[in-house]
Amino acid sequence: MRWQRQTLDADDGALPGLERAGFVRSVQTPEFEGITFHEVLCKSALNRVPESTLPFSWTINPMRGCSHACRYCFARGTHEYLDLDAGADFDSQIVVKTNVVPVLRREVHRRSWRRESVALGTNTDPYQRAEGRYRLMPGIISALTESGTGFSILTKGTLLRRDLPLLVSAAEQVPVHLAVSIAILDEELHRGLEPGTPSPRARLELVRALADAGFAVNVMVAPVIPYLTDSNHHLDELFGAIADAGAAGVTAFPMHLRGSTRGWFLTWLAEAHPALLRRYRQLYGRSASVTPEYSAWLRGRIEPLLEKHRLNRERRAAPEVRAAASHTPDTQLALFA
């Protein structure tokens, strides 16, 4: 059979947390070798964000876990809420809310719905590879648009181009903000740190396609990875390529190493760049963030390059970019639900 273990009572052996999340079944397919999809039925599609500085009050996460497998992903720890690990499980055990579209349609058509802006991409990427199989985003975009609800999307996934006509149509009716994440231009480093993502060049072509369609695209150059992607040469080349692709602006900030992400990233660093371990211990100490001195140094490097490439025209970051930059404890659960 093309799909395996499709019975509703399949024994996965490691899903006690998913039982609480409306678990239905686990499936595998040769098209996604090494990845298991855990299909769940969600009770709610919209997640309220506690009062914060974020420019939106609601998020939607059609999936949890992400096959992009980015070593630095700040959302890794959220898989532990499901009794799955934040390392290999996060990359390969993908939770899919298969009923998210009909649930969302009911929620946005309630008389109490105030049509506040909704953000997608605050946790894991809505256009990761699994979206090609489940096709949840067209229904989500349509439900939000038909209800008069504006939305934003942050993605590394070039699969978004499939929905470009739908997004163009939506933007004629509601506010639509699109942002693309491109942190690394070097192909070898990209393969080590973001092995499941489309190539940097493919994402630059996505930026070009969105700009050509009339969107003011913000590119998130984040995280900037200390001693690996913070050189003047790398940032200058990357910003130049982003500007050539037609982006309206760039948001950049240094890497956070929060919770389980810290160990997962440092394990990779010890294997790939062991000489940097000592410098990382000095830079981060026991904190999830770099030192204030490094942050100030990086800003001083980035600002002239933004000016040089005219990427500082959009000084206020797009909503979905600001969300990714924040991920503070008081908003974490709502962003990741």
pLDDT, tens only, 196-213: 999 999 999 999 999 999
Reference 154, options 203, 191, 187; nearest CA is 203
219 and 211 in contact (C-beta within 8 Å)?
no
Kindly list the domain boundaries of the chain, sorted by start residue. 16-152, 182-314
pLDDT digit string (tens) for the chain, length 337 residues? 232 333 333 333 334 456 656 788 999 999 999 999 999 999 999 999 887 667 778 999 999 999 999 999 999 999 998 889 999 999 999 999 999 999 999 999 999 999 999 999 988 899 999 999 999 999 999 999 999 999 999 999 999 999 999 999 999 999 999 999 999 999 999 999 999 999 999 999 999 999 999 999 999 999 999 999 999 999 999 999 999 999 999 999 999 999 999 999 999 999 999 999 999 999 999 999 999 999 999 999 999 999 999 998 654 445 544 444 444 433 343 444 5
Q: What angle do CA 73, 78, 79 make, to 5 degrees?
A: 95
- Can you tell me the distance from the alpha carbon of 65 to that of 92, in angstroms, rounded to the nearest whole number? 7
- Can you tell me the distance from the alpha carbon of 98 to that of 45, in angstroms, rounded to the nearest whole number? 11
Q: Quick one: pLDDT at residue 11? A: 33
Report if pTM > 0.75.
yes
Question: How many residues belong to the chain?
Answer: 337
Q: Quick one: pLDDT at residue 81? A: 87
